[in-house]
Structure 1
């Protein structure tokens, strides 16, 4: 590839290996569920898997997709991954990244995670493409905008502190400059903490408890759902990610009665419990009928159509980020839908087709962005992200 690295990027080349072997001071422990390293109140950068994948949706997040510059080859991509690895290690440990021009903004104990993914076109350079990694077909209800779709690379930065997210993204984008240019950027937020300070599932802007049916992190069910055990050796312990930007029509949703909203979802808005149960995690009774003989959970209810029992046992690990985007006096509101699974074609695509065909929520939702990425496994001190693919 052409172009000379800047002084800051030269610092990055020199510092990536050293940063990869460093660990911040403080208490270091292994997270009991996700296998991620916990440093103080932060999340360490090392592990079998990229730590942000199994973590709960962050309070604040930004996703940036990139397109590779012409002429960037496998070796160039490897140089970028070494740079990003140095950045990720430093920022996760509350230290300035190599060559950071605003080192005071690097702080610890904000639960900062950085997740990196590769779009399908990367594997035209590298080979060893994970199974099922293809751009999704356009669904009947999609209204995709290229401004929110596709991409060769992805970074997703999340933290409790929005300033830390902005700073980390700025550093990663700066280091990517000789290799790739931003294609789209999406920012979102999520509240996974209840009024009592305990962790909760979180709600989307419809007011719906969102993500109840997820497999539990750390269980065999989670592992088989999310982590790849097939395909190229470099991808073992990795996963795939689907990003769908879904616009919500809050105005027409608000015109419904509460019971109409709940019937479209198949769950109670108050607790997230299925209409056939009392608590959020009660099993759905898909055969239950009311006094008039109608199915309590309607045939087109979102909870029914997305349930694993209605999809030949297929599961995904879904997360979400709410977003709002103001353009002059108007506001667009929606959900950045994030789905992790070992194989997109085998797990996610059949579910998506089923929902597109009949989901009651299609009347109030429109997908305007879509992208897919392969997320490599994690790395250990002295190594770097996707090293087994890029060497």
Structure 2
């Protein structure tokens, strides 16, 4: 038995010895102590029960992290396969990640964690794994790509940058602490070894002082963002998940991540009335300008005393409202902040020492081209908020179906 695999369990040794060993053996050597320090079960052992306080179940037909109430911290990590990486390499990485995530999400350390003493707290960790369309081209199997997965078309208001766009594989890591998301990213990327290289990391936060919640947060404009959502009681599952007609992709979903830079310098010059006019909602409580509360339907035809509509047809809410029943998708927005000035072309009008802020707009749906693209086109055409925003990054991923014990992420969809 090789000293680099001793103590890892037969399943882990089999993965490391089947062609990926050169890439992962060095990482595995450092993991031997971690398994015993974290409470001790071997790689193939059963994870903690689903009702462990502070944890989210890992196994199931669908991955956690889509309809799971969002915690305070989310980071999306895009990886590219390195030149020469094969379909079998991708399968092996997904098997190793499955094994690590079954442990990490239940409060035990991933096998690639060099300091397991720091990861024993239960932080409602979820990690959602997705594949970009480019990965199927990379491994020479475009036939395995789901037909509904494709990059979004260009929009007139986009100023996309490679440093925030694309990717072969994505890891969405969520937890109640930023440290937990950072540590899990590090462990999973280390476990993948030389098969992947980092493309980008985008980290955001939500104001969630207590337990994770679906309550719509405020973005950097002070706007309550994410009021209109599909139902999560099963009645809108066709908007969120692929159905039986998708074969091995049943229970998959689509993630569209859009990085939106926000010009606070000029936004902050507006008075509250002008801000509400651009948004179409009251800043105080998120209610439509036509009255009611945050969840009240807006009256887009109501006129004011001078004959103009109360809600401007170019307001963000008016442009974003679904025109068809299927033009709905689940949103999990997060705020990001960068120290100093963010170079976003003409958006940054002044060279100031103020930090740059923006929105990580994460949308989840069964078919982005049917559900999301029509809304994005309307926003690009006439949304008043385009004066203060620009989209600088965009990426689309197929979120893999979930797994049961004994299975691996991607096992069925990559079986061809």
Asked if Structure 1 and Structure 2 have the same fold, meaning a TM-score greater than 0.5 normalized by the shorter chain, the answer is yes
1:141 equivalent in structure 2: 157
In structure 2, the residue matched to 1:304 is 318
CA pair 18-216 structure 1, distance change in 2 beyond 3 A: farther
Paired with 1:239 and 1:380, the residues of 2 have a C-alpha distance of 17
Cα distance change, pair 254–94 in 1 and its aligned pair in 2 (3 A): same
1:273 match: 287
**Residue of structure 1 in register with 2:62 after alignment:** 49
Q: 1:20 to 1:318 in 2, by over 3 A?
A: farther
CA RMSD in angstroms comes to 2.4
Cα distance in 2 between the residues matched to 1:165 and 1:294: 48
- Aligned to 1:43, the other structure's residue is in SS state coil
1:250 equivalent to 2:259? Answer: no
3-state SS of 2:412 partner? helix
Distance 2:66 2:43 in 1: 22
The within-5 A match list for 1:171-210 is: 171-193=187-209, 200-210=215-225
- Conserved? CA contact 1:202–1:209, under 8 Å: yes
Measured in 2, the distance between the counterparts of 1:265 and 1:231 equals 39
Match of 1:361 in 2: 385
Map of 2:358 onto structure 1: 334
Aligned length: 375
Q: Aligned match of 1:288 in 288, 295, 302?
A: 302
What is aligned with 2:24? 5
Match among 325, 328, 334 for residue 315 of structure 1: 328
Give the 3-state SS of the residue equivalent to 1:121 in structure 2. helix
Query: How many angstroms apart in 2 are the aligned matches of 1:198 and 1:128?
Result: 36
Over 3 Å counting, the alpha-carbon distance change for 1:210 and 1:20 in structure 2 is farther
Task: Determine helix, strand or coil for the equivalent of 1:388.
Answer: coil
Instruction: Report the structure number with the largest CA radius of gyration.
Output: 2
Please state if 1:132 is matched with 2:148.
yes
- Return the offset for 1:21: 5.5
Is residue 69–residue 212 contact of structure 2 (8 Å, CA) maintained in 1?
no
Q: Is the 8 A contact 1:119 1:372 kept in 2?
A: yes
Instruction: Return the offset for 1:175.
Output: 1.4
Cα distance 1:11–1:18, how it changes in 2: closer, same or farther (>3 A)?
A: farther
From the superposition, tell whether residues 306 and 197 of structure 1 become closer, same or farther in structure 2 (CA, over 3 Å).
closer
What is the CA–CA distance in structure 2 between the aligned matches of 1:4 and 1:211, rounded to whole Å? 42
CA gap of 1:233–1:272, structure 2 versus 1, over 3 A, is: same
List runs of 5+ in structure 2 lacking aligned partners: 1-18, 36-40, 342-352
The answer to whether 1:114 aligns with 2:127 is yes
Cα distance in 1, alignment partners of residues 182 and 380 from structure 2? 35
Pick the aligned partner of 1:226 from 216, 240, 243: 240
SS in 1 for 2:189: helix
Q: Any conservation in 2 of the 1:93–1:108 contact (CA below 8 Å)?
A: no
Contact 1:77 1:390 in 2 (8 A): no
Q: 2:179 aligns with which of 163, 166, 174?
A: 163
1:217 lines up with 2:232 in the alignment: yes
- Specify whether residues 211 and 99 from structure 1 end up closer, same or farther in structure 2 by C-alpha distance, changes over 3 A only: closer
SS in 1 for 2:79: strand
Cα deviation 1:254-275 (Å, max 9, x = unaligned) = 1111111111111111111111
* Structure 2 counterpart of 1:35: none
Alpha-carbon distance in structure 2 between the residues aligned to 1:199 and 1:81: 29
